[in-house]
Amino acid sequence: MALHRLKLPVEERFLNVFEDHPDFLALNPLGLIPTLVTPEGMALIDSSAILETLDDRTGSIWPRDLELRIHVRNASTLLTGMMQSMVSFFQESSMHEVPSPFWMKDHHDTIKRAKMRALQMPEWLLIQEGKLTQAGWDLAVAKEYLEFRVKDLAFSEDHPTLQSVLNIAMNNPAFQESKPRL
């Protein structure tokens, strides 16, 4: 999504992560998505590495103001961590014949705690000059993914800050195109 927001050229390849892809695993032995291959041929194998590289090249991911950048990065880390817990929750609940009650509760509680913290974030952390910060984008994506995978913890859209974030995100074609679907 960041590549599209920045209007950078990209060739996308979509993979089913539940299938074997030897060429992909040769690029990224961890099998993580997304993976970005730079024009120089280097495989960036984590979202944070991709965002750092895009910021290094464009200066358009993280705020320039150091204090604000620290706050936005911290919020972004919380939200991406929440999404990782959502993936783990989904994997545990749907990929095991008998899901572990311990891990189901652990992931569920982690998502719930992160969601509560996200709803306490001030609007200035998510929106700057009428545009979403990276943390704002992460919140919009987390909200969509939570509704898709862990419906019982879905965000209420009547939260004013979340609604402001969604109003901006929904007007972005890259966000619309990235919405999870079956």
Q: What is the mean pLDDT of residues 123-140?
A: 96
Instruction: Provide the token pair at 151.
Output: 């419906």
Domains, in order of start, for the chain: 2-58 (3.40.30.10), 66-178 (1.20.1050.10)
Q: Please check the confidence at residue 180 and state whether its pLDDT lies above 70.
A: no
| pLDDT attached to residue 182 | 56
Q: Give Cβ neighbours of residue 176 (< 8 Å, ≥ 6 apart).
A: 170
3-state secondary structure of 121: coil
Q: What is the pLDDT of residues 41-93, one digit of tens each?
A: 999 999 999 999 999 999 999 999 999 999 999 999 999 999 999 999 988 99
d(CA 21, CA 25): 6
Full-model pTM? 0.90
Confidence of residue 155 (pLDDT cuts 50, 70, 90): confident
H or E stretch including 71?
helix 66-95
Confidence of residue 124 (pLDDT cuts 50, 70, 90): very high
d(CA 9, CA 165): 26
Q: What is the pLDDT of residues 88-108, one digit of tens each?
A: 998 899 889 999 999 999 999
Enumerate the β-bridge partners of residue 127. 132
Strands (E), 25-176: 36-37, 43-44, 127-128, 131-132
